Structure 1
Amino acid sequence: MALLRNKIVQILLNQQSTLGSCKYATASSTNLREVLTNLIPEKQEEVKKFRAEHGKTVVGSVTVDSIYGGMRGIKGLVTETSVLDANEGIRFRGYSIPECQKLLPKGNGGTGEEPLPEGLFWLLLTGQMPTQEQADAVSREWNKRAAIPNHVIQMLNNFPSNLHPMSQFSAAITALNTESKFAKAYSEGVKKTKYWEYTYEDSMDLIAKLPTVAAIIYRNLYREGSPVGAIDMKKDWSWNFATMLGYENADFVELMRLYLTIHSDHEGGNVSAHATHLVGSALSDPYLSFAAGMNGLAGPLHGLANQEVLVWLTKVREQVGDNITEQQMKDFVWNTLKAGQVVPGYGHAVLRKTDPRFTCQREFALKKLPNDPMFKLVSSLYKVVPDILLEQGKVQNPWPNVDAHSGVLLQYYGMKEMNYYTVLFGVSRALGVLASLVWDRALGLPLERPKSYDTPHLIKLAHAVKK
């Protein structure tokens, strides 16, 4: 349903001004759970009618190549929160990233520059653009729920310094499931119709606690175990996170708001989102489900990619210096490709245009750090790499993705610990995958076991279909 509905939304957005047709939250309540309680029965009925009318409609096809290719491109999941269009980029509930930057409530009571992730979470859950008061209410709610149990703090403090930050992050999330309200309610025989309510409570609690967990890991590994300090009830989620990490620069706080917003969701088929969906379909609580997603995010082909890009950029700068000409950059890129290497940060499995997440980070850099040598290097590559990749003719998408830029921004503000970047990604991704998990439970969307084949049976099937 979400795939069809989002396509319709995109058509409408192309036909009229998004700003003129923006659907702001109509409910005056600042209680997100109350809003959802009123909204979910309506959406459940909508899905029921939709399935009754279109349940047998074919929406795609499957080839042998797609089966061997990891099911790439197969339409097989409902993801209410976002859709990734090859030409339009990611849309959160129908809104592009530039539209979200303009329409979502801002920090500092609305006077800030970048959108609040709290507002995006409201949008992902409800499909409605929140008011400033509603987004600020989520900030206060998360601040109230942010306490970490002592056993998790002790575990984090006892981890060896050579344990990767993502391993610590995943382990801490798993250990937090002692706090799961869903697990407790399920053990007591809660009705299926109430599953979403306890999933929502766990999701709110978990999102609230993640910055503190992530900050403890950062301080233990890179700041000699210095304390993270207490949550400031007057600050928003991103601001508290930046402070606990040890960064008080106002521009870094704005970067955190932007970073945590744009990395939040990316449709349901990517590894971290799919893993969370899959484990959640077994009715594992949100803590266990999200921990599974984070183990996927830790891989070099997923969240770890931003670290690999920055490592590569650092090596490039060491080799070419800061005053390289455009022709010298072209020669360097061609030599890289002819040596059988790739240009990290370019290409995307779905997108066929420059990643909007790259673009908004580039716009941030143009305003805040236009003379930074690493930013200039990224800009130089942006000028030459797409044309070279097109000329080479081996890639479908020669444009930069989000990973081509994010590490440079973090490093500029002093966060040079590259193997920590994926933890920041994970904190952000919680918004999307947990909002989606709430809707999985509300709409009764388990992932039933799909049919699979071993190679001999698949060969027989292919021959039979061909005949």
Structure 2
Amino acid sequence: MSRAKTLGRITGTALKLHKGGLLSASHCRHVSSSTNLKDVMEKLIPEKQKEIVEFRKKHGSSKVGEVTVDMMYGGMRGIRGLVTETSVLDPDEGIRFRGYSIPECQEKLPTAPGGEEPLPEGLFWLLLTGEIPSKEQVDAISKEWNERAEIPNHVITMLNNFPSKLHPMSQFSAAICAMNSESKFAKGYSEGIHKSKYWELCYEDSMDLIAKLPTIAAIIYRNLYREGNPPDSIDNKKDWSWNYASMLGFEDPQFVELMRLYLAIHTDHEGGNVSAHATHLVGSALSDPYLSFSAGMNGLAGPLHGLANQEVLVWTTKLQEALGGEVSDEHLRDYIWNTLKSGQVVPGYGHAVLRKTDPRYMCQREFALKHLPNDPLFKLVAQLYKVVPDILIEQGKAKNPWPNVDAHSGVLLQYYGLREMNYYTVMFGVSRALGVLASLVWDRALGLPIERPKSFDTPSLKKLVGAS
């Protein structure tokens, strides 16, 4: 049975909403033949604008949920308050990119010659348009990103002058922010461009930024971990992920395939996570995509968001050292129980929204089963997957006892020799750009306003609910 079919049983069969109607999961949308993504967007945006105007006219006063005091004090968890067109996270199914599950994306999106994993370029096309792109359309994106990849000299100088003690994510965010010297959106806004053109300049900035990120990320990696040796130049014959892997210094075809998978599945996770929301929030003030995405990366750098896979890997490595090689399930259960009884958690298990095994975990597991089934660290991760959920269910505290994406990604990167854990969040950030910037383009296309929710202090909130 193919990987797509196997994982399809996990995520379930979907029905997709498109232009007011339901399409079966087997339907593959190839609406446009043009290889110019901007031209495709120009045709789609008026249709979407009309759809939303009509929807708001009929249902603008409809209530979509309620807000409790616990939600307000609990990080707004569960409050329905954002519109994000690119993806939806279902608690029981997992992430869907424009209606497509990860297994469906693996099956339908174009791959590189001889490869099996979806090209991130194709996922970006899907996120922006809702359409499954052709191979020719994906190749056109690869070509365009290669042509836009040149980094401003002042940014290269800044990166080369950063002290080695400055965290990779701080360097990444600072370089992104500094590149706003190139912003077409900022320039156009200062010249008084009409707001109907905002999306076009946001699109241009986003394409430029995505194209440049692998080079920026590679310079940071090689400055910190490869004695400052500059990365190779962009190869116009390579796709986005392949160029990134090559600039890091990795040419193993399996690692390149892993990069394609990694960069595809980490792109988007609906709009409420910190990096997506921060990008949207700052962008709502009409800050350009460079400033907006830099803000998102500052959020991703936090230990409760993008650093999770690093923490999982540290914990798993210590577990491996403590147990001393292969152990029985019973011995592992005792260790996990002792961990929980001591007040600690098992990192990599549970999710704020998901209530099942993360499909992103499963596709990485399938990759590992195919390419590194005998790796000791992967075997331990697989054993944890067998043992931990039952223990967490028995304990009764975890809302979701299943592993998330962070429980697996670090193990794969370690296997192929990318062992510098402090750098992992930068890779996450390179991927996340595709989702949050696609969403930002749609924010400007739909004319979404500045975000400004109402806040209360505790005395005012007590008065509002009638508390003494």
- Which consecutive unaligned segments of at least 5 residues does structure 1 have? 1-6
1:146 aligns with: 149
Under a length normalisation based on structure 2, what TM-score does the superposition of the two structures give?
0.95
Instruction: Measure, in 2, the Cα distance between the counterparts of 1:8 and 1:323.
Output: 43
Instruction: Measure, in 1, the Cα distance between the counterparts of 2:15 and 2:54.
Output: 18
Match of residue 176, structure 2, among 173, 176, 194: 173
The answer to whether structure 1 residue 22 and structure 2 residue 28 are counterparts is yes
Change in Cα spacing, 1:380 to 1:8, as seen in structure 2 (3 Å) is: closer
Instruction: Measure, in 1, the Cα distance between the counterparts of 2:268 and 2:133.
Output: 18
Give % identity.
75
Quote how far apart the aligned CAs of 1:17 are.
4.8
The answer to whether structure 1 residue 316 and structure 2 residue 319 are counterparts is yes
Quote how far apart the aligned CAs of 1:160 are.
0.4
Instruction: Measure, in 2, the Cα distance between the counterparts of 1:448 and 1:159.
Output: 34
Match of residue 64, structure 1, among 62, 69, 75: 69
The answer to whether structure 1 residue 280 and structure 2 residue 283 are counterparts is yes
2:78 aligns with: 73
Number of equivalenced pairs:
453
Instruction: Measure, in 1, the Cα distance between the counterparts of 2:175 and 2:132.
Output: 32
Partner-residue secondary structure (3-state), 1:9:
strand
1:261 aligns with: 264
Query: Cα deviation per residue 1:25-69 (whole Å; 9 max; x = unaligned)?
Result: x21110000000111011111111111011001011100100111
The answer to whether structure 1 residue 43 and structure 2 residue 44 are counterparts is no
Instruction: Measure, in 2, the Cα distance between the counterparts of 1:99 and 1:249.
Output: 26
Query: Cα deviation per residue 1:94-129 (whole Å; 9 max; x = unaligned)?
Result: 000000000001013xx3110000000000000001
Instruction: Measure, in 2, the Cα distance between the counterparts of 1:231 and 1:205.
Output: 14
Match of residue 198, structure 2, among 181, 195, 203: 195
1:187-266 map, 5 Å: 187-266=190-269
Change in Cα spacing, 1:11 to 1:319, as seen in structure 2 (3 Å) is: farther
Partner-residue secondary structure (3-state), 2:16:
helix
Match of residue 377, structure 1, among 377, 380, 385: 380
Instruction: Supply the AA of the counterpart residue of 1:389.
Output: L
The answer to whether structure 1 residue 462 and structure 2 residue 434 are counterparts is no
The answer to whether structure 1 residue 296 and structure 2 residue 305 are counterparts is no
Quote how far apart the aligned CAs of 1:448 are.
3.2
Quote how far apart the aligned CAs of 1:9 are.
2.8
Quote how far apart the aligned CAs of 1:446 are.
2.2
Quote how far apart the aligned CAs of 1:451 are.
1.1
Q: Which moved more, 1:434-443 or 1:34-43?
A: 34-43
- Which consecutive unaligned segments of at least 5 residues does structure 2 have? 1-13
Query: Cα deviation per residue 1:119-176 (whole Å; 9 max; x = unaligned)?
Result: 0000000000100100110000000000001100000000000100000000000001
Instruction: Supply the AA of the counterpart residue of 1:322.
Output: G
1:97 aligns with: 102
1:160 aligns with: 163
Check the 8 A contact 2:15/2:23 in 1, yes or no: no
Q: Which moved more, 1:320-329 or 1:266-275?
A: 320-329
Quote how far apart the aligned CAs of 1:16 are.
7.6
1:4 aligns with: none
Quote how far apart the aligned CAs of 1:11 are.
12
Instruction: Supply the AA of the counterpart residue of 2:264.
Output: T
Task: State the Cα RMSD in Å.
Answer: 1.5
Quote how far apart the aligned CAs of 1:447 are.
3.7
Quote how far apart the aligned CAs of 1:22 are.
2.2
Partner-residue secondary structure (3-state), 2:438:
helix
